[in-house]
Amino acid sequence: MKIGINNSLCSGCRVCQLICALTCEKVNNPKKGRLEIVGHFPVPGGYEIKMTDECNQCGQCVRFCPMGALYREDEE
């Protein structure tokens, strides 16, 4: 499975980072997640999701993203 990203739907909530950190690192610290959320300000709602090289494509971020900004590419 490969994770796809639709940055236009990202609200910057960082739920994906938290779920990633909890799943992969077993810590309650979004900064330990294997993806980054980058804000592009002053544009309101301008966020970009970036997967790091450490991402193992487990898909937990896809499962819990409340905005649908992450998806499995094989399910398009």
Question: What 3-state class would DSSP assign to 51?
Answer: strand
The CATH number of domain 3-75 is 2.40.50.140: no
User: Could you tell me if 68 and 8 are in contact, meaning their C-beta atoms sit under 8 angstroms apart?
Assistant: no
Helix ranges, the chain (H): 15-20, 60-64
- pLDDT tens for each residue of 5-60: 999 999 999 999 999 999 999 999 999 999 999 998 886 778 999 999 999 999 99
Query: What was the pLDDT predicted at 17?
Result: 97
The contacts of residue 10 (CB under 8 Å, 6+ apart) are 37, 47, 48, 49, 67, 69
**Domain locations in the chain as residue ranges:** 3-75
Query: What was the pLDDT predicted at 6?
Result: 95
pTM of the model: 0.85
